[in-house]
């Protein structure tokens, strides 16, 4: 699991996808 990707990706797509952070955590876990 790459925490850096989890922190960066949601910031980019979080504008139109608020639940991206939770989604990414599930994906990377």
- Give this prediction's pTM: 0.23
Domain parsing of the chain, residue ranges:
1-29
Q: What is the mean pLDDT of residues 5-27?
A: 63
Helices 3-13 and 20-28 meet at what angle, rounded to 10?
150
Q: What is the mean pLDDT of residues 3-25?
A: 62
Q: State residue 29's pLDDT score.
A: 58
| Distance from C-alpha of 15 to C-alpha of 3, rounded to nearest angstrom | 19
Q: State residue 21's pLDDT score.
A: 65
pLDDT band at 14 (very low <50, low <70, confident <90, very high): low
pLDDT band at 17 (very low <50, low <70, confident <90, very high): low
Q: In 10 A of CB 24, how many CB atoms?
A: 21
Q: What is the mean pLDDT of the chain?
A: 62
DSSP 1-29: --HHHHHHHHHHHTTT-TTHHHHHHHHH-
């Amino acid at each position: 699991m790459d925490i850096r990707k989890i922190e960066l990706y949601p910031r980019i797509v979080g504008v139109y996808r608020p639940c991206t952070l939770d989604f990414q955590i599930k994906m990377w876990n």
